[in-house]
Structure 1
Amino acid sequence: MELTKEVKKYIDHSVLCWLATVSVKNIPNVSPKEIFTYFKTNAIIIANIASPQSVKNIKENKNVCLSFIDILVQKGFQIKGIAEIVKKNDPEFLEMERILTAMTGGKFPFITIIKITIENVKPIIAPKYILYPETTEKQQIESAKKAYKI
């Protein structure tokens, strides 16, 4: 499945994504990831900065779920896919590393990368858009700014 321009736009406007993994004992784990982006047309890459539980779980169960939203517009996407741990000796590592290092400015070292090949994409929208269909993104942004005191 390929990423659309809309999904890429929300990735670019999201500060964090949340990666859900599950251990071999079916114990869930969700953790925030700050350095992530799309890669080529069908993958998301995440710098493994401090993610030992996520990596352990992916080695045991490659099925993952990732979500991200623009916190002001309160729209985003949920992505389900198959994860793999990309190491330095992988042919794609250098290309991925260059992209992620540009995002960190070299301030956060990482030795592996989590790559998620996308299988399913589903929109996430704040309930207000559904309950009050006349709600505009501009109104939602103003409401979010008040709620977040910004």
Structure 2
Amino acid sequence: MLTDEIKNAIDKSVLCWLATASKEGIPNVSPKEIFTHYGQHLLIADIASPQSVKNIIENSHVCISFIDILVQKGWQLKGKAALIDASHIHFNSMLQSLTQLTQGKFPIKNIISVQIEKAKPILAPRYLLYPDTTEEEQIANAAKVYRL
């Protein structure tokens, strides 16, 4: 389910949003800065994520979204999450993938591993309303609007 296109988008993104829900269905969305792909799984570092972890224990269904903020394209991924701790056979290799991103600056308590079941592209409305929009035009427009 994680295509090369999605993996490339993950590599270019600096932030993702992890949506979880409690067993009662109460939603929670939080930003995650340290994430990567690992085979066919998305890995997210549990640095300071007590509510996300609690919800995943109660309800493994999650949704992750991320975009390239200038191009304004990205992905929404849905699947089932599992908490990976130091006792897991693949913990060290998964941890190494995430530690490369943190350069050892953040303590990683656990790893949230998501088996992706559905993937859907995210596009800014401009691409839909004005189909001739190029990524270069979108970048220039975003830079102007956000004063970059």
Q: Distance in 1 between matches of 2:69 and 2:5?
A: 16
Please list the CA deviations of residues 112-131 of structure 1 after superposition, one character each: whole Å capped at 9, or x if unmatched. 00000010000000000000
Gaps of 5+ in 1: none
Question: Which whole-Å CA distance do the structure 2 matches of 1:11 and 1:148 have between them?
Answer: 22
The offset of 1:3, in angstroms, is: 1.1
SS at match of 2:132: coil
Q: Cα RMSD (Å) of the superposition?
A: 0.6
Which AA in structure 1 matches 2:71?
Answer: V
What is the identity, as a one-letter code, of the residue corresponding to 1:30?
A: V
SS at match of 2:92: helix
Counterparts of 1:59 and 1:147 in 2: how far apart (Å)?
Answer: 41
Pairs aligned (count): 148
Q: Percent identity?
A: 58
**Structure 1 position 51, deviation (Å):** 0.3
Match of 1:124 in 2: 122
2:114 is paired with a residue whose SS is: strand
TM-score for both structures, normalised by structure 1: 0.97
Match of 1:59 in 2: 57
5 Å matches for 1:37-76?
37-40=36-39, 42-76=40-74
Give, in whole Å, the separation in 2 of the partners of 1:6 and 1:147. Answer: 27
Who is 1:34 aligned against? 33
Distance 1:55 1:111 in 2: 10
In 1, Cα distance between equivalents of 2:91 and 2:146? 38
Structure 2 counterpart of 1:93: 91
Distance 1:118 1:80 in 2: 6
What residue ranges of structure 2 are gaps of 5+ in the alignment? none
Local SS of the residue matching 2:76: strand
Q: Structure 2 CA distance, aligned partners of 1:131 and 1:111?
A: 44
SS of structure 1 residue aligned to 2:28: strand
Q: Following TM superposition, by how much is the alpha carbon of 1:89 offset from its aligned partner in structure 2, in angstroms?
A: 0.4
3-state DSSP of counterpart to 2:81: strand
Give distance in 1, aligned partners of 2:145 and 2:56.
Answer: 35
Cα deviation 1:21-63 (Å, max 9, x = unaligned): 00011110000000001011x1100010000000000000000
Task: Return the TM-score normalized by structure 2.
Answer: 0.98
